[in-house]
Chain A
């Protein structure tokens, strides 16, 4: 553990993410207003301009629009900060779903001989379609909401996890301690989850980190294209999609969420690179590029 945190990539990536996590959790206490609040009187303000905002209760509060406001008079700063929540939830949930399904499929394919062929052909089939197209098509089928978006982004990631786990299982199953467990009559499920799975953790953590970054990116793309979460939900992609109409006059509506998005994905990828170098140097060749 100390070795992992001695790595500068891990330090930088992890501290940036902890900071974003803090922003996401503490969003209501950081001088924000309701991110969905419309205020006709404060439309299209430039960053730093002071104005007033009328809450749903009818109170008028003075508010400085740090990042300006959009064409509905909503505070970009509040929307960007609340958008951090959506991005982190989607990223982490996608990684959890893809890892969970991928681990089960990978263990089955690697350990149960007759399942290997059919399962891996199915995975080849999914991998033949570019990830973003699967996500777009699934969202179109299911209608966008938080769970459907999460599953739509996670599904194209499953084959990568499955292949990684399967390749690890194929080497691990020949290890003496697995043979010993088999000869003692240990049930297959216990061998898979008790003996083999714990030895695949390091590469899975690394792969999981990359999935978080990728999922955040895809979610933003879906929202930006208008096929992701409904437009009233403050996500970085949605803020940019609304800002693009007025991009020429008010570029800040696009740039602020864009900077947050780029910084977040960068932090996740730097953390992933650092974890890869410290946890599993051999992995550089094993994890496939997107």
Chain B
């Protein structure tokens, strides 16, 4: 894991020369900008300086916003965090019961419906879902605001209202992924001998499903939730863009359009760090989910 995080740091700094390609300035101007940004040193020296800064929590200065990248990320964190958490909770609450039910009635209409939905969930792009929902819920029915974001501290109710549609949008693909794996692993657990034993000794079916089947299927489900964080991060970028939410996803797109390389580097580092850390936590949770696993 340590090797992974280290490699990740190594890979993320982009090619500093490309920054200059975006400028229509004279050679002297370029040199001056270069020196002021510390880009005149060798790649190794830049990397060493950058690594030293990152390890002490300094992600550098944004070219475009004229402030520290870490501060910038801190300012934009709230909407993204709220959106991601809403989506995560919504997806798990919908997908796990659906997956269990589909496995329980294997081959039934719910099972087939769910499998069709999961192929669809992978195929229909997030922004198409987003516009479909905006058109239906906001424009035709007028139930929810079309787009935008209100901070939690400003107005709790509006904060919620603005997050409902984006969360539903983003959860589509996540539900497809989690439900599919839940179904497969519960189905596998249901074929085990201890399920027959549990049923034979007359346990209620809900207890068999939850305590015996789902508990034993928990590890793959936790794993796929972790892998899915990558999809969630990609989805955040798109969803925030469609719903005009001023979070980290929007910041990523804006930084790319402005060719603000320190910000792009910082964001990729931040997202990758979150992704790796979540997966590390999930690896650790295996010991809790399955007492046979020890570290």
Contacts and interface: CB of A to CB of B under 8 A. Distances in A.
Interface in A98-151: 121-122, 124-126, 128-134, 136-137, 139-143
A289 to B, nearest CB: 6
A136 B131 contact: no
A125 B124 contact: no
Nearest to B230: A130
Nearest to A141: B18
A16 B124 CA distance: 16
Given A129-B8, A227-B257, A289-B227, A217 B237 contact: no
A133 to B, nearest CB: 5
Contacts of A224: 127, 238, 241
Taking each of A130, A139, A221, which has the highest tally of chain B beta carbons within 10 Å of its own beta carbon?
A: A130
Interface of A (DSSP majority class): helix
A225 interface: yes
A270 B115 CA distance: 11
Contact of A289 (B134, B135, B224, B275): B224
Interface stretch (B9-17, B94-102, B205-213): B9-17
A124 B228 CA distance: 16
A262 interface: yes
Interface of B (DSSP majority class): helix
B8 A128 contact: yes
A258 B252 contact: no
Contacts of B135: 247, 251, 255
Interface string B1-26: 00111011011101100100100000
Contacts of B8: 125, 128-129
Interface in B121-146: 122-128, 131-132, 134-135, 139, 146
A105 B193 CA distance: 42
Taking each of A121, A133, A240, which has the highest tally of chain B beta carbons within 10 Å of its own beta carbon?
A: A133
B46 to A, nearest CB: 15
A224 B239 CA distance: 11
Contacts of B122: 265, 269, 290
A122 B11 CA distance: 9
A133 B252 contact: yes
A276 to B, nearest CB: 12
Contacts of B148: none
A125 B134 contact: no
A136 B256 CA distance: 7
Given A125-B10, A137-B14, A262-B124, A251 B256 contact: no
- Chain A: interface size category: 35 or more
Nearest to B8: A128
- Chain B: interface size category: 35 or more
B237 A137 contact: no
B18 A142 contact: yes
A266 B123 contact: yes
Interface in A250-283: 251, 254-255, 258-259, 261-262, 265-266, 268-270, 273
Contact of A251 (B119, B126, B131, B275): B131
B256 A137 contact: yes
A288 interface: yes
A258 B238 contact: no
Contacts of A251: 131, 135, 139
Nearest to A143: B21
Taking each of B134, B233, B256, B264, which has the highest tally of chain A beta carbons within 10 Å of its own beta carbon?
A: B256
Contacts of B267: 133
A240 B126 CA distance: 13
Contact of B231 (A121, A240, A259, A290): A290
A259 to B, nearest CB: 8
Taking each of A129, A221, A268, which has the highest tally of chain B beta carbons within 10 Å of its own beta carbon?
A: A129
A213 interface: yes
B125 A221 contact: yes
B245 interface: no
15 contacts: A125-B7, A128-B8, A130-B230, A130-B234, A132-B233, A142-B18, A225-B241, A227-B257, A248-B139, A255-B135, A261-B125, A262-B124, A262-B125, A266-B119, A270-B119
Given A139-B256, A142-B18, A265-B124, 8 more contacts: A121-B3, A128-B276, A129-B8, A133-B233, A140-B256, A261-B125, A289-B181, A290-B122
Interface of B: 3-5, 7-8, 10-12, 14-15, 18, 21, 119-120, 122-128, 131-132, 134-135, 139, 146, 177, 181, 224, 227-231, 233-234, 237-238, 241-242, 252-253, 256-257, 259, 261, 264, 267-268, 271-272, 275-276
